[in-house]
Amino acid sequence: MIRKPYIGEAEDVFKRLYQHQEKNFWTEALAFISKDENLNKAHIKYLEFSLHDEAVEANRYKVFNSNVPTKPAISEAEIAIMSEFSINLKLLVGALGFRIFEKLTKSLTSKQDKYFISAA
């Protein structure tokens, strides 16, 4: 089965999953939450925007979002904090076997001419 990732945010993750349980476009879900509620709505919107952008750029899967997230206005300091959060999140996602943010690499056995030097 080909994975069709969707990257989104929700105020209530359990409620969102419950609403979508009957839909056939998904079989797996990864949810990330803040342990001490230190992420505000703008932070979460920024993470949604940047992770969606990185997944599309990686071009490993066709991202399933019907609407493209927009970049919210947050400070440079907040962007730095969210970038660190994003790095950790992508590390966990990759470790769980979801390589959505990793670009495909070219095969070493590509169809290029190969030249050899032989000593006489």
Every domain of the chain and the residues it spans: 1-120
Q: What's the rounded Cα separation, in Å, for the pair 69 and 11?
A: 16
pLDDT means per 10 residues, the chain with 120 residues, are 81 87 82 83 94 93 86 94 94 93 75 75
pLDDT per residue as tens digits for the range 86-120: 999 999 999 999 999 998 887 655 567 778 787 76
| Beta carbons within 10 angstroms of residue 21's beta carbon | 9
